[in-house]
Structure 1
Amino acid sequence: MSHKPSFDLEIKSYREQQNAAVSLIQIVSNLWYNHAIELVFFRNQLIDVKSSSILNLIKESVLLTDEPFNIFDTLHTAQVLEKLTLSPARIDIGKLTLQGKKQTIDNNDLPSFITNELKDINQQAELKPRDVVLYGFGRIGRLLARELMHKAGAGQQLRLRAIVTRDANDSKSILKRATLLKTDSIHGAFEGDVQVDIPNQALIINGITVHLISAKQPEDIDYTYYGIQHALVVDNTGAFRDEQELSRHLKSKGTAQVLLTAPGKGIPNIVYAVNENDIDVQKHAIFSAASCTTNAISPILAVLENKIGIEKGHIETIHSYTNDQNLVDNMHKKSRRGRAAALNMVITETGAGAAVSKVLPSLKGKLTSNAIRVPVPNGSLAILNLEIKSKTTVEEINALLKEASLQGDLVEQIKFSKDNELVSSDIIGSAAAAIVDAPATIVSADGRNVILYVWYDNEYGYSHQVMRLSRHITGVRRYTYY
């Protein structure tokens, strides 16, 4: 008969783990805010994260990787990193710790091991920060503002300098925009300080001035008047969708590049980590980050196309309702979208299937797609029904996607879940573009038909993809260890 530890010993053990997590948080903050070195844990953000959340991340990662490591191992890795002289970087401390454990590196040899693993970290060119303008301040715009300010770090990255809206910047409008930034019914309160500067028509976010600019037309703005130079303009409005319309931004003084947060016509459509290296960012000034759904399904399709091959398939997206639907039944220019969004499942079109071919040309003409808007405010699901080129099994498919979530170029984009109880609200706040629901994977008896269920936070996860792409096209890319 086994004996459980006493209650006092359990409390003592947990307290020691909490203290170690607090020490880790201090190191994470020091490295980020003072040295522009961002530590993540198996792609999960650690900046401003609670100690209990860190302990939960470690437990989840142990279950996923089937490798034994703990908070104390992770803390020791962080302590070694803090003592090194490193250039700005993004380092997965979970993977670094795991690699050390796999190679049975003891604590005495860990500094030498880490130094060797990160030997290329100081080889990169010096980072030059870039100014960013958010053109539009809706759902995606406000999440991008939060993330840009959250990731301001030592000021060597993307710098949010201005927000452009079509409305007049009277005191009432400025106060409303500040409130919408500070509070969010889905994503909760902004963990930062937001003040208003009415005389100067600005928001003061975490002590940094962000100008509020009112303009009816993009070309009417002179960003240099606000001290903004060589800026990336991120267009969140959806009002301009093709090269001719979006090029109007380039007529504004101080603008260098434009990024559309929607599918675009006549411009490169990019899903970061899937096809960004196929586009010469020096030859283009206007880019599209594609849609949230395209960002969710493309990484998964890329893995299967590269490893097994896809003959054809159908994508059905079960998508949260959006702002273009009606709150109550009323006229709408599109079919069905006029019916009350929070009361109905609404069949509507999506171009995600065709859009994938812009990112993965080998799938051109092979995918159809449709969408159903459902009565949830955020959190969506893509169902991939695929006919593949060679026989497979559930185990093989899940193993491929699990490996992609832990190793390779798609670790930020793909999260692998073994949770049998996963539901849509659980994935809200996930920075991954796609969350694979492994227990739901289906393979037909002949092994030629695969059905995958892929969750995605169509707001938060997509915003992170936009951020990743923004860093890529501006050249503000740190050394990354994944």
Structure 2
Amino acid sequence: MPPSWIDIGRLSSEWITEKEDYKNSASDFLKDKLKDLLAVDHDYLKPKDVALFGFGRVGRLIAREIIAQAGKGQQLRLRAIITRSNSDKDIIKRAELLRVDSVHGFFPGTVIEDLENKALIVNGHTIKMLVADKPGHIDLEAHGIKDALLIDNTGIVRKREELSWHLNAKGVSKVLLTAPGKDDVPNIVHGVNHEEFDRDKENIYSAASCTTNAIVPILHVIENTLGIESGHIETIHAYTNDQNLLDNYHKKYRRGRSAALNMVITETGAAKACVKAIPSLEGKLTANAVRVPTPNGSLAILSLKVKKDTSKEAINDIIKHAALNGDLVEQIQYSYSNETVSSDIVGNTCASIFDGPSTIVSNTGKDIILYVWYDNEYGYSCQVVRLAKHISDVVRLKYY
């Protein structure tokens, strides 16, 4: 069998209910269930080189995830990290930030500085540490990197024209932005709308934002089952590097106040970004955010008016089904616990952790409140990697 992801739990459940149809032959059962996977050639994956443009918090977590999934190098291969400086001192500092993280702990592997060759050797893989002060000002081909996917983690440029500057760099064939894209840049939430774009024609993509990736899977499910009349989204969001540690000037209101000492009301573009992924929600949603004094782990509160009468049990069953079946099993996790708090979801690979016990439905049966946890750093980074694999056509075969 070629490299594949197989849900053993699903197979086991199906075997229990269907084994008599196969006359209790496990061999016949597996051959039938996995026939589509067995028919594919073993060498169906062509690896894709990746270059990270920027190496901040999300950039380092994306690097961790790509390296963790490197395997035999048949999917994404991290070949370069591009920053504004690659002095020996800077390389050593960046290596240390990759090795250990105050929130996500130690990197489970080895990180060795190769200062002579301006590189890091991570789990035996050489990653070049390159320099560029602007998009497009780099020659990846000079380092043996061709047809690469460049992941821009800086968020400095977000318009198609600006992002297209990256394509002027030798060795870059596609660009993925880890922030909401502007104008006509496709904003994609993997699992919801990633199949709507032609990989052969589009070469610039946005992975939207962490909040958008958290709420869109849930909104998608509710829209398709109950229908959404209107709603408001409030995100209780961990503070980020965009805020000040202590009071100081900031161009945005309130964000200049100490992030570690205050709850800070601020804006979010999540409502607009949702519409790019789910066009039927145009004009139906509002959104705002409150930044709180925790370094990671956030909560989205979805207050929705739905078209069909429902109940707490019905909604929870709908989300449970989506979490276990269909296209969103990687994006949604259903939480049964009455004790879940924000630190519990740090390191969770899912974009949305649905808090089932907290679901509220009014007496009208149409006004509902849903609580969705998300690791705004790691959960989002996993979504970026999933989208990067899709764009690069290196997704393993799946049965789950």
1:205 aligns with 2:122: yes
Partner SS, residue 218 of structure 1:
coil
Whether 2:365 is the aligned partner of 1:450: answer: no
Does 2:380 correspond to 1:462? Answer: yes
Q: Which residue of the partner structure matches residue 25 of structure 1?
A: none
Partner letter of residue 387 of structure 1?
K
Is the 8 Å Cα contact of residues 221 and 319 (structure 2) preserved in structure 1?
Answer: yes
**1:422 alignment counterpart:** 340
Partner in structure 2 of residue 259 of structure 1: 176
Cα distance in 2 for partners of 1:317, 1:185 equals 23
Query: Alpha-carbon deviation of 1:97?
Result: 2.3
For residue 229 of structure 2, give the secondary structure of its aligned residue in structure 1: strand
Give the whole-Å Cα distance in 2 for the aligned partners of 1:336 and 1:400: 38
2:164 to 230, 244, 247: 247
**Whole-Å separation in 1 of the counterparts to 2:118 and 2:171:** 19
**Equivalent position to 1:389, from 307, 310, 313:** 307
1:408 lines up with 2:326 in the alignment: yes
For 1:248, what is the secondary structure of its paired residue? helix
Matches within 5 A, 1:4-403: 86-104=1-19, 109-124=25-40, 126-166=44-84, 168-265=85-182, 266-403=184-321
Q: Helix, strand or coil for the counterpart of 1:186?
A: coil
SS in 2 for 1:121: helix
TM-score by length of 2: 0.97
Instruction: Tell which deviates more after alignment, 253-262 or 213-222.
Output: 213-222
Are residues 313 and 211 of structure 1, via their aligned partners in 2, closer, same or farther at CA, if it must alter by over 3 Å?
Answer: same
- CA distance in 2 between counterparts of 1:344 and 1:120 reads 54
Q: State the one-letter code of the partner of 2:137.
A: D
CA contact 2:19–2:26 (8 Å) conserved in 1 = no
Partner of 1:52: none
Tell me by how many angstroms 1:123 deviates: 3.5
State the AA in 2 paired with 1:109: S
Deviation per CA, 1:292-327: give whole Å up to 9, x if none. Answer: 101000000010100110000000000000000000
Match of residue 27 from structure 1: none
- Paired position in structure 1 for 2:389: 471
Q: SS of the residue aligned with 2:36? A: coil
Q: Residues of 2 paired with 1:134 and 1:291: CA distance?
A: 17
- Can you give the 5+ residue segments of structure 2 that lack an aligned partner in the other structure? none
Write the distance in 1 (CA, Å) between the matches of 2:109 and 2:17. Answer: 39
Q: CA deviation at 1:92?
A: 1.7
Cα pair distance change 1:311/1:194, threshold 3 Å: same
1:128 match: secondary structure = coil
Q: How many Å separate the matches in 2 of 1:92 and 1:150? A: 20
Distance 2:277 2:160 in 1: 18
Counting aligned pairs with the same residue, the percent is 59
Give the 3-state SS of the residue equivalent to 1:328 in structure 2: coil
Bigger Rg, structure 1 or 2: 1
Query: In 2, distance between residues paired with 1:308 and 1:301?
Result: 10
Structure 1 gaps of 5+ residues are 1-85
Q: Deviations over 1:121-145 (max 9, x none)?
A: 1334611000000100001100011
Distance 2:17 2:149 in 1: 42
Q: Distance in 2 between matches of 1:108 and 1:198?
A: 60
Q: Name the SS of the counterpart of 2:35 in structure 1.
A: coil
Deviations 1:444-476 (A, max 9, x none): 001010100000000111011101111111111
C-alpha displacement of 1:87:
0.9
Whole-Å separation in 2 of the counterparts to 1:400 and 1:444: 17
Residue type of the alignment partner of 2:38: N
